[in-house]
Structure 1
Amino acid sequence: MPDNPPLTLENIREVPKVLLHDHLDGGLRPDTVVELADAIGYRNLPTTDVPELSRWFREAADSGSLESYLETFAHTCGVMQTEEALVRVAAECAEDLAADGVVYAEVRYAPELFVERGLTLDAVVEAVQAGFDEGTRRVAERGRNIRIGTLLCAMRQHARATEIADVAVRYRDAGVAGFDIAGPEAGFPPTRNLDAFEYLRTNNAHFTIHAGEAFGLPSIWEAIQHCGAERLGHGVSIVDDIKSDADGTVHLGRLAAYVRDRRIPLEMCPSSNVQTGAVRSIAEHPIGLLARLRFRVTVNTDNRLMSGCTVSSEFAALAREFGYGWDDVRWFTLNAMKSAFLDFDRRLDLINNVIKPGYAHLTN
């Protein structure tokens, strides 16, 4: 691109970006869903017309409720029950992210959701990793490079967190970057899984926790102070601990100040947060205030299929609403790379040799 190009969606796609919060089963291509359903005999899709199915996922997710939003995953998980399907979905995920300019991604999934047809947890992890290996190979053949680590999720409404944490530790030298808990927050606080988090800490393993999306400050406090979360998935409710005076003076509560002072990363997903009712609109998303106050904010997709988004489109939407420029996109990207569950040397290599050069002619 020339120097000082406009911050358009097309131009944003061309700069290096980092993605920390993206669900594998929330990012399938609609045509892949239809083809996999036909291959395994899955008959529950609302439609097999690809454009209509794409529209259905988006509209079904626009419910304003996290619980209703999560119901759309019955169909994506339903067609991901074989090794072949998992390999294909992961390979296509790598291709799609690279095409959007993502140079490093942590893609998460819950192995326990893909064992309905007899796969073991280990077989699920190995199939997904094989898919990412294949996808990164295809990407390299086209002259792009992407590095992908996976996060293994345990569903917080189930009782398999310690089992999944053990799998994450066993496969951490084979592509697994860390652990997470996902699913409905209300009624399933992070502390229900304390044994898993203690096991991870004693094994020097990384983990993030979905918190502050649908339940508020208590879930953030528990995730950090009881469970020891390194990052917060979403974390939008932290804004409830920030007060503003009529003259614009901002006061941080004890928890908000702790999160900012400790540089605890917030994995924010603007479009998804609107869909689940965590915020009313992109314009009202707390990312604007939190970025201005210099919290460690990162920009993510959550579920690309359900939200009809990419990292680039999320940046474009934020730029429209908050007037962000290239300096801001670079800042968010560096925040994400600094917060990745990747060893320091490789983080530094990507920052100095990929990300900073990619923005050198765009920022002041």
Structure 2
Amino acid sequence: MSTPVTLESIRTAPKVLLHDHLDGGLRPQTVIDLARESGYDALPTHDAEELGVWFRDAADSGSLERYLETFAHTVGVMQTREALVRVAAEAVEDLAADGVVYAEVRYAPELFTEGGLTLDQIVQAVEEGYRLGERRCAEAGRKIRIGTLLCAMRQNARSLEIAELTVRYRDAGVVGFDIAGPEAGFPPTRNLDAFEYLRQQNAHFTIHAGEAFGLPSIWEAIQHCGAERLGHGVRIMDDIKVDEDGTVHLGRLAGYVRDRRIPLEMCPSSNVQTGAATSIAEHPIGLLAKLRFRVTVNTDNRLMSNCTVSGEFAALHEAFGYDWADMQWFTVNAMKSSFLGFDERLALINDVIKPGYAELIG
């Protein structure tokens, strides 16, 4: 007999997360503790519950630019080795507690140099935190694996430097590269030298595209830069027409994305906050999943969106009626699309994900 789909039961299902920002997932109390330790004095409140609400409300503006401003506080308290280790370890524990078995967590090393840390020291500290978190989870009976994505901020000029850092640490936990930050005015092709270098090095990369900017950003990310995945990609809907009778017409780019099985790292709650979607019920994920695009479900920023992967699935269940088979499909999509090696992906799908959903499906 199938297990009823509730938030609590969804938490027990094995889940895979491809789009989660380290500096967007801190615990409010940790932000307060680290601010006190570092002398950071710009927090709007030192009450953990109030601070959590402030982050969510500030991010609920409908503007990507305003949404990004909330990161001044989290980045501001993550400027020491000890802070990075703590934040990384807690992120692993929080994800494991939500039933995540594999996650690719991303961050931009260039944002954490204000305290004098080098890029290498930053990567080493975060990896130490991830391994610490994995060990703590294993000891508690929750097995989870974390892969790191290093981001370059698209408005800066350090993409090649971060790409080289990605390759330097790809045998130490770093599985890929990304560009993040404001899309408008900063197209993916500004970073072509980084993407050409990564391809030459047989390295993996995803690109934030099609969130705050439309089809040209997606087209450049795929056709000029060679993106393996699209961060968000929600604006691919601009190339899909639905007639009044429900007939769907895919444009050339949308058809290419679907035919090539290019993964879409979709983040429903975040997209509503930044204005990329009007509501969960009207989020393009509903049509894109029905059309069998390679859709995955993600959190983006757990603190700012006050969300978890389980919460996202619960919201999608309520909006679209998704059942365990649908959730398994999203999860297998994500695992297939991860930057782990093929054998490791297959093992997690066959040994962890499918057996976990089989128990729930009954």
User: Any residues of structure 2 matched to 1:234-245 within 5 Å, and which?
Assistant: 234-245=232-243
In structure 2, the partner of 1:333 is 331
1:274-302 Cα deviation digits (max 9, x unpaired): 00000111011000000000000000000
Identify which of 76, 79, 87 aligns with 1:78. Answer: 76
Does residue 1:277 correspond to 2:275, yes or no? yes
Amino acid aligned to 1:17 = K
In structure 2, the partner of 1:203 is 201
Does residue 1:65 correspond to 2:53, yes or no? no
In structure 2, the partner of 1:317 is 315
Q: What is the CA-CA distance between 1:165 and the residue it aligns to? A: 0.3
CA contact (8 A) 2:205 2:229 kept: yes
Amino acid aligned to 2:74 = T
Amino acid aligned to 1:254 = R
Q: What is the CA-CA distance between 1:362 and the residue it aligns to? A: 2.8
1:45-70 Cα deviation digits (max 9, x unpaired): 01111111000000000010000000
Does residue 1:33 correspond to 2:31, yes or no? yes
In structure 2, the partner of 1:114 is 112
Does residue 1:213 correspond to 2:243, yes or no? no
1:71-105 Cα deviation digits (max 9, x unpaired): 00000000000000000000000000000000000
CA contact (8 A) 2:3 2:361 kept: no
Q: What is the CA-CA distance between 1:136 and the residue it aligns to? A: 0.3
In structure 1, the partner of 2:168 is 170
Q: What is the CA-CA distance between 1:232 and the residue it aligns to? A: 0.1
4+ residue runs of structure 1 moved beyond 3 angstroms? none
Does residue 1:15 correspond to 2:13, yes or no? yes
1:324-364 Cα deviation digits (max 9, x unpaired): 11110000000000000000000000000000000113338
Identify which of 251, 261, 264 aligns with 1:263. Answer: 261
SS at structure 2 position matched to 1:149: strand
SS at structure 2 position matched to 1:44: coil
Alignment RMSD: 0.6
Q: What is the CA-CA distance between 1:215 and the residue it aligns to? A: 0.6
In structure 2, the partner of 1:223 is 221
1:92-148 Cα deviation digits (max 9, x unpaired): 000000000000000000000000010000000000000000000000000110000
1:145-167 Cα deviation digits (max 9, x unpaired): 00000000000000000000000
In structure 1, the partner of 2:3 is 5
In structure 2, the partner of 1:44 is 42
Q: What is the CA-CA distance between 1:6 and the residue it aligns to? A: 1.1
Counterpart CA distance in 2 for 1:260 and 1:114 is 37
Counterpart CA distance in 2 for 1:85 and 1:317 is 32
Amino acid aligned to 1:168 = T
In structure 2, the partner of 1:355 is 353
Counterpart CA distance in 1 for 2:197 and 2:60 is 37
Counterpart CA distance in 1 for 2:236 and 2:180 is 18
Does residue 1:294 correspond to 2:292, yes or no? yes
Q: What is the CA-CA distance between 1:5 and the residue it aligns to? A: 1.3
Counterpart CA distance in 2 for 1:246 and 1:211 is 29
> Which runs of 5 or more structure 2 residues have no equivalent in the other structure?
none
Amino acid aligned to 2:255 = A
Amino acid aligned to 1:306 = M
Q: What is the CA-CA distance between 1:246 and the residue it aligns to? A: 1.5
In structure 2, the partner of 1:94 is 92
Does residue 1:253 correspond to 2:251, yes or no? yes
Counterpart CA distance in 1 for 2:163 and 2:299 is 24
Counterpart CA distance in 2 for 1:252 and 1:240 is 10
SS at structure 1 position matched to 2:310: helix
Counterpart CA distance in 2 for 1:107 and 1:307 is 16
* Aligned residue-pair number: 362
In structure 2, the partner of 1:345 is 343
% identical aligned pairs? 79
